[in-house]
Amino acid sequence: MKKAIFTEIAWFAGLFITAVLLSGWFFSNNALDVRDQDTYHSDGSKFSSLGPIQCMFFLALGFGVYFIRAIFSRFKIFSVCIGLVFFSLLGLGTLEYSLYNFYHTFSSVYWANSGPAAPVKGLFYGGDMSVVHDIRVLVLIKAFLTLCLAFTSLMIGRLHRGLSLRQ
């Protein structure tokens, strides 16, 4: 059991290090004409946009790796299934938070600018529909994560029931 725990800790550490290195490689500002001393918030704190990007890389990479590991192990390794449930729940929580922020921002702008009687012209009258497409993609990702979470939970239950019957 100790070996399995250390193995999963090593997988988590490797995923985190890989996510940090990939986000630094993809989003380094070496080619930009912005110097570090010019990137401060209004309160004087230093601006760093890599934190949320590193978290999203960690979530996406972790879910992908654990999903592939669970498929190849046929959902028979308990710790891999728990890791997949962990990353599914984190992904669902992140999507819920981002959708809530989007709806809150959209509704506050809608009520502040036009009121309930006038629709938002850009969205309903031939405007940019990319916002609606982005929401649909997020809802599809959310549905996939929910199905993955449900199936993995079912497989954990079957695995646990099989282990308790053998003992």
For the chain, 167 residues long, the average pLDDT of each consecutive 10-residue run is 87 92 73 52 56 85 95 91 94 86 67 53 54 77 93 89 58
| pLDDT the model gives residue 55 | 86
pTM of the model: 0.73
| pLDDT the model gives residue 116 | 53
| pLDDT the model gives residue 167 | 47
Classify residue 40 by its DSSP letter: B
Domain residue ranges of the chain, discontinuous segments joined by + = 2-166
Extract the tokens encoding 69.
Answer: 């590991």
| pLDDT the model gives residue 144 | 94
Q: Are 90 and 59 within 8 A, CB to CB?
A: yes
